[in-house]
């Protein structure tokens, strides 16, 4: 076996052991998860209120609604787990998407153009923008700018995508 293959094999085994070890640590800290998530929900609620957003909260999931020219009214969901926020906006429902080669090209180009925001299909086939970030990395002003960018990018992509039926 070559030196490169041996090195790769050793790293793969080390990574697998690290994941196994990390999983055993995570299993023993289950009670802390609920407290961490609750603190994050409280923090995110305070930031959203300070930033001036109206939202509904169901457990650890926020729902915000936006309306933009061309796309109309669309939802934003912010789900919280531990100290992470997963932000999602719906770009188009599954039945409005025409599956063409241009769609593939558009998804690849969007994922390059929008950098941190990722354009993906959800389990129902809807086209959504997603982004995950730690709540500790943002304040009310940051979350306001992040949500504003999400809304603008969602509307921009929708309005310029030829494979979405308007």
Number of domains composing the chain: 1
Determine the structural domain holding residue 53 and report its residue range: 30-160
Does some domain include residue 86? yes
pLDDT in tens, 67-109: 999 999 999 999 999 889 999 999 999 999 999 888 989 888 8
Cα–Cα distance for residue pair 150/126, rounded to 1 Å: 16
Confidence class of residue 48 from pLDDT cuts 50, 70 and 90?
very high
Coil, helix or strand for 90? strand
Domain CATH number, residue 49: 3.30.1460.10
Does some domain include residue 37? yes
Cα–Cα distance for residue pair 138/92, rounded to 1 Å: 28
Structure tokens at 55: 């939202």
Task: Tally Cβ neighbours within 10 Å of residue 139.
Answer: 14
Does some domain include residue 116? yes
């Amino acid at each position: 076996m070559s030196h490169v293959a041996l090195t790769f094999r050793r790293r793969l085994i080390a990574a697998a052991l690290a994941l196994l070890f990390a999983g055993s640590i995570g299993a023993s800290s289950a009670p802390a998860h609920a407290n961490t998530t609750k603190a994050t929900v409280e923090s995110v609620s305070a930031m959203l209120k300070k930033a001036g957003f109206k939202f509904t909260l169901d457990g650890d999931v926020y729902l915000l609604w936006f309306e933009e020219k061309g796309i109309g009214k669309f939802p934003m969901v912010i789900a919280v787990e531990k100290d992470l926020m997963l932000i999602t906006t719906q770009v188009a429902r599954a039945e409005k998407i025409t599956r063409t080669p241009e769609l593939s090209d558009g998804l690849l180009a969007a994922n390059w153009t929008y950098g941190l925001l990722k354009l993906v299909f959800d389990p129902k086939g809807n086209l959504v923008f997603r982004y995950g970030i730690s709540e500790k990395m943002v304040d009310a002003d940051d979350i306001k700018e992040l949500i504003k960018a999400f809304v603008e990018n969602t509307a921009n992509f929708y309005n310029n995508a030829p494979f979405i039926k308007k």
